Amino acid sequence: MIRFLHSSDLHIGKPFGRFDDDLRARLREARFQKIARLAAVARDGGASLVLLAGDTFDAETPPPHLMRQTVRAFAQESDITWVILPGNHDSLAATELWARFARECPDNVILALQAEVIEVGEAVILPAPCPVRHAGRDLTTWMDTAQTDPGQVRLGLAHGAIQGFSEEDKPLDLIAPDRAQLAGLDYLALGDWHGPIEVAGNCHYSGTPESDSFKHDVVASALLVEIDAPGAAPRVSRVETGFIRWQAIELNFQPGDDPAERLHAALPEPAKRRDTLVRLTATGRLSLAERARLEQAISDNDEDFATFEFNLQRLDLEHESADLDDIEPTAGALRAAAEQLLAGAENPDVDAEARRVSRAALGRLYGYALKVQE
């Protein structure tokens, strides 16, 4: 039997440029720490082999100090054998990166830099390293004819997509989704997609071990794989590895809802908030008073989180004349401004963006008016 951990897309050195300095540093360090975390997960699962299916580095030219520290981090986990595949972000075109890694490579790291059979204990690994960012061909086709000992478990290791998103402009470098069957692989470990996907029972994307966007609303993980013998079906289990959570929340409101209660129910418990990035999208309709309560609830909670983004652009207004009375009950400058904003929010002759700006401004004016009255 062979047991190993499948991971990919560490993207060490990812800049996270849109966040402030403190959060960028936390996100970068969380990715670097995944080396030790993956080693610990492998040990806990009884595995001493870790396959990294591409994009270990985020760029072809990581800073020299980061390169050195990464090599040292792999070496420190000396009881783990690491097999590292170049992906599209750190392809073989990064000649200096891989030349330096090869010079400093510790004994417990195998660099899969060529399309050739690698023997690891009772298994053989057939890697498909990316020569450049976009190869223009399926790099896994060589696996079909690769000769290996029938008594060894046959593993494929590749990085890339198995599906194009446009029939008119289909990429040439798509990996055949049935490559595991065509090449007689017991398991095909894939990288590139940052969320876990089961292509087939013996073909998986592991996803990144540390989330880096709101795209995949799952806790980041790696895959622990067990194969009893050549030809046996693999047993694959997800093991959580992520530290920082990216949580996308979509709430659809209707008049009469308690927006603060709805928001509170959707947010994680307080102990987890510092390590959570939130993106809130609100849709539906709320009255001015309800919208004000939602904005106040956001303000009461946003500083608990690593970052809290919110989008109220698609939230419509359900208004009554009494709502404007809350701003100013009699004729005056505030009442006139509120009526003008309300007219703009409901004017079908202006574009959607102008109506959205008017709705947002009216909601903000209402909130300010209530605060002044407190």
pLDDT at position 310: 94
Task: Look at residue 325 in the predicted model and tell me its pLDDT.
Answer: 63
Q: Based on the domain organization, do 230 and 263 belong to the same domain?
A: no
Residue type, 319: H
Rounded CA-CA distance 223/238 in Å is: 5
- 87 and 15, same structural domain? yes
Domain end, chosen from 223, 240, 257, is at: 240
Q: What is the mean pLDDT of the segment spanning 111-124?
A: 96
Enter the DSSP assignment of 281: E
The answer on pLDDT for 374 being more than 60 is no
Task: State whether 251 and 225 are in the same domain.
Answer: no
Query: Do 177 and 286 fall into the same domain?
Result: no
Asked if residue 19 and residue 154 are part of one domain, the reply reads yes
CA distances from 154 to 308, 325, 331 (A): 45, 74, 81
Domain identity same for 234 and 252: no
pLDDT tens profile 69-107: 999 999 999 999 999 999 999 999 999 999 999 999 999
Q: Examine the domain organization and report whether 18 and 131 are in the same domain.
A: yes
Give the pLDDT band of residue 335 (cuts 50, 70, 90).
confident
DSSP 185: -
Together in a domain, 269 and 156: no
Closest CA to 298 of 287, 312, 288: 312
Q: At 94, list the tokens.
A: 């990064």
Task: Express each pLDDT in 3-56 by its tens digit.
Answer: 999 999 999 999 999 999 999 999 999 999 999 999 999 999 999 999 999 999
For residue 167, pLDDT over 70 is answered with no
Average of per-residue pLDDT across 115-121: 95
369 has a pLDDT exceeding 80: no
One domain for residues 179 and 274: no
Token pair 């960012």 is at which residue?
133
d(CA 25, CA 13): 10
313-341 average pLDDT score: 71
- Distance (Å, rounded) from C-alpha 72 to C-alpha 76? 6
Mean pLDDT score of the chain, rounded to an integer?
A: 90
Same structural domain, 205 and 299: no
pLDDT of residue 33: 96
Judge contact between 361 and 290, C-beta under 8 A: no
Cβ(229)–Cβ(221) below 8 Å: no
Tell me the C-alpha to C-alpha distance, in Å, between residue 67 and each of 93, 110, 198, 328: 16, 16, 32, 63
Q: Does residue 315 share a domain with residue 189?
A: no
Q: How many other C-beta atoms can be found within 10 angstroms of the C-beta atom of residue 156?
A: 27
CB-CB contact of 179 with 203 (8 Å)? yes
Q: What pLDDT score was predicted for residue 371?
A: 65
In this structure, of 106-120, 129-143, 155-169, the range with the lowest mean pLDDT score is 155-169
- Residue 23 and residue 150 in one domain: yes
Listed residues 240, 271, 294: the one ending a domain? 240
Q: Tell me the C-alpha distance between 299 and 285, whole Å.
A: 20
Both tokens of 272, joined, read: 């987890």
Structural element, H or E, at residue 284: strand 276-286
337 in Cβ contact with 362 (< 8 Å): no
Q: The CATH number of the domain where 16 resides is what?
A: 3.60.21.10
Number of domains, the chain: 2
Q: Which of 182, 205, 240 is the last residue of a domain?
A: 240
Confidence (pLDDT) at 226: 98
Domain of 165 in residue numbering reads as 2-240
Q: Cα separations (Å) of 226 from 45, 128, 178, 234, 351?
A: 10, 22, 20, 6, 58
Work out whether the CA dihedral 12, 17, 18, 21 comes out positive or negative.
positive
Beta strands 235-240; 221-227: pairing state? antiparallel
CA 264 distance to own-chain centroid? 24
233 phi and psi angles, rounded to 5 deg: -70, 135
What's residue 336's pLDDT? 77
